[in-house]
Amino acid sequence: MYCLELAGEDDAFAAAEARAAAADGVERVAPGVALAADVALERVSVLAYTRHADVLLARADASVAAAADALADCALERSGSVAVRARDVRNTTGVDTQRAERELGTVLVERGFTVDLDDPDHELRALFGGQECFLGWHAAASVRDYGERKPTDRPFFQPGSMDPLLARALCNLAGARAGDTLLDPMCGTGGVLIEAGLVGAHALGNDAQEKMVRGASENLDAFLDDYDVVRGDATRLGLSADAVDCVVFDAPYGRQSKIETHGLADLVAGALAEARRVATGRCVLVADRDWRDAARDAGWRVDERFVRRVHRSLDRHVLVLE
């Protein structure tokens, strides 16, 4: 059993990403905390909304004394040096984490461990969340380098460009893996394609505007060695059936798009139909409204749906389609 420390504020979304990309049997158990029956530890590094994965040792009430008692009762089966890291996840418990680290460290020293805060053999993590504490040996962490790829720092920028954290999560939700081909049929500035390439997939982009094709290529050149971006109609792709493994696209937003409402509906419906034709796996659609009916009409089954607040006048709807 593993314990996952989730990132962001939408635990359902974070758990879904972990489930799609790295973990089995994911169950949310406290704010910012989930348990998983099994985790592919080598995949944790690519997750956007999971910070850490720990091998679960024990669960206790959310108090320092209860956590120390639970640790004292554990069969630790390890030796050597150790560091203890305690977290009051989402500030839900009010626990004194420094005190927790001291008292849990004392228990480990009494069990024969030595303390090394700089380069320990093992790291014990104590996650205090909700009404519980989750104790575990640290096993893997995600790489939090998204600030290095901010849209405003790329060679080509357009307002409304998707941030890399969300783009990575969408690629993971789509099931992109090393060796897969991920298609973005409305690729814009290429943010999704960058993240797809960085998880090892082949990035394939399409956009109706020549400006976007050129700009996306500039951005992709800065991060990837291999990709393809072409100009074309998302409703009539120049691809054979089953040519790609998965699809992710951010549909035009009605209030900002120059496409009239009826035209937007036709565009999204056509793009969904084409995605169904060319993909063997999942499609993840992001939009400013709920396109579930259009997705079903195109032959998709809606596996999951999330609504993520951007600001007071904009919610992002995320559909995970099978």
**Same structural domain for residues 202 and 288?**
yes
**Same structural domain for residues 232 and 273?**
yes
**Same structural domain for residues 162 and 21?**
no
**Same structural domain for residues 172 and 91?**
no
pLDDT tens-place string over residues 62-74:
999 999 999 999 9
Query: Residue 240 sits in which domain range?
Result: 146-321
**Same structural domain for residues 37 and 121?**
yes
Which pLDDT does position 310 carry in this prediction? 84
Kindly give the confidence (pLDDT) of every residue in the chain, 322 residues in length, as a single tens digit, with 9 standing for 90 and above: 999 999 999 999 999 999 999 999 999 999 999 999 999 999 999 999 999 999 999 999 999 999 999 999 999 989 999 999 999 999 999 999 999 999 999 999 999 999 999 999 999 999 999 999 999 999 999 999 999 999 999 999 999 899 999 999 999 999 999 999 999 999 999 999 999 999 999 999 999 999 999 999 999 999 999 999 999 999 999 999 999 999 999 999 865 555 544 589 999 999 999 999 999 999 999 999 999 999 999 999 999 999 998 888 889 999 999 9
| Matching residue, tokens 């969904």 | 272
**Same structural domain for residues 251 and 299?**
yes
**Same structural domain for residues 296 and 150?**
yes
Tokens of 54: 């720990």
Where helices occur in the chain by DSSP H, the ranges are 11-21, 64-72, 97-110, 164-174, 191-198, 210-221, 261-278, 292-297
Phi/psi at 224 (5° precision): -125, 150
**Structure pTM?**
0.94
How many angstroms separate the CA atoms of 132 and 302, rounded? 34
pLDDT tens-place string over residues 161-193:
999 999 999 999 999 999 999 999 999 999 999
